[in-house]
Structure 1
Amino acid sequence: MIRKRTVIIAITILLLLAGSLSYLQWGRQMDVSSSSGSGSDNHYELRVSVILNTLVVTDQQKCAEQIFEKCRDNSFHSVRFSYDIQIPHALSVTVYKKQKDAESGNSAFRFSYQQENQIDGSYNIVDNPEKFTLEME
């Protein structure tokens, strides 16, 4: 009787722990913590800091591509970029796993999407994504 009760309690604790870890890894959405832009007449670069809200980053390149898509689609939860004013010709992103890492400056990784000719603003990230290459730092 006592052994059966102990097993039930242990299984319950393990299920709660597994549920908590699953939520911390996959249950929260990434979001922008800060953004800034700089540019000249024919070139505009968007710099973004993203909080992933995950415990582990398994594939940095896939994660970078997802962030690029969210920037292109302007689909982050708490930030809307002003693409009506100017669409970026370059994108630089610093990625943090959690808010505490961002506050301490401990980035998970950095990447940028650049054109071959970085000075010429011929292409932008929304209309011409195929003209950009991913550079992991």
Structure 2
Amino acid sequence: MKKTGLLILLSCGMICGCSKEYIEMDILSSNNTTSGNWYELDIDVIADKDDVSDKEACSREIIQHILDNDFHSTRFSFDINGYPNNVSVDVFTSEKMHKKVRKLILLNTLQNLIQKTLMYKIISKTIQENLKYNTNKIYLMAGLRFATRCRKVENHVLSEISPLNSLIFHFPA
């Protein structure tokens, strides 16, 4: 009798421990931007499924949660600015996936920053060498390719470079 009770208790414990945890759709982070009459909302959401196969249905569900303002951990204030003009949503299946993606974005950002710093040092060294021979303002046209705010610009105009090595970028439209 004791063995049967212990076996049932152990079986129930294993079933409860091994069963999948229910993940409720919730917001991990949110950021809102307002400017004049423009209101923009940027959120990171955990989906309530391990795999989001129907992306359109998931999108509708997220929009409905935003309109109903019924996320578990976050409440939005729509009384001041009204509903957002633009909503940007990043959907993740789990918090682990969110952390992995954010680490990759951080590493990519750091790598871009290092590349820009190295390019700045190269340009700065070239400018210092040119300043030894020419004390006037230097206008330098560089065919460099930088990604600034996800916008690729073919030609950068570096203008009015002073002996203080301050670079002023003018991006042609």
Q: Does 1:91 align with 2:84?
A: no
Aligned residue for 2:36? Answer: 41
If asked which structure has higher relative contact order (CA below 8 Å, sep 6+), I would say 1
What's the RMSD between the two structures over aligned residues? 2.6
Go from structure 1 to structure 2 and tell me whether the alpha carbon gap of 1:103 and 1:75 turns closer, same or farther (over 3 Å shift): same
How many Å apart are 1:58 and its aligned residue?
1.7
Give 1:66's aligned residue. Answer: 61
Gaps of 5+ in 2: 1-10, 103-173
Q: Give, in whole Å, the separation in 1 of the partners of 2:85 and 2:48.
A: 27
TM superposition score normalised by structure 1? 0.58
Q: List structure 1 segments (4+ residues) > 2 angstroms apart after TM superposition.
A: none
Matches within 5 A, 1:50-129: 50-87=45-82, 88-105=84-101
Determine if contact 1:50/1:93 at 8 Å carries over to the other structure: yes
TM-score (norm 2): 0.46
Q: Per residue, is there more helix in 1 or in 2? A: 2
Structure 1 gaps of 5+ residues are 1-11, 107-137
- Whole-angstrom distance in 1 between the partners of 2:100 and 2:81: 31
The aligned length equals 91
Whole-Å separation in 1 of the counterparts to 2:45 and 2:60: 13
Question: 1:11-43 CA distances to partner (integer Å, 9 max, x unpaired)?
Answer: x7xx949x72xx44xx32110000011121111
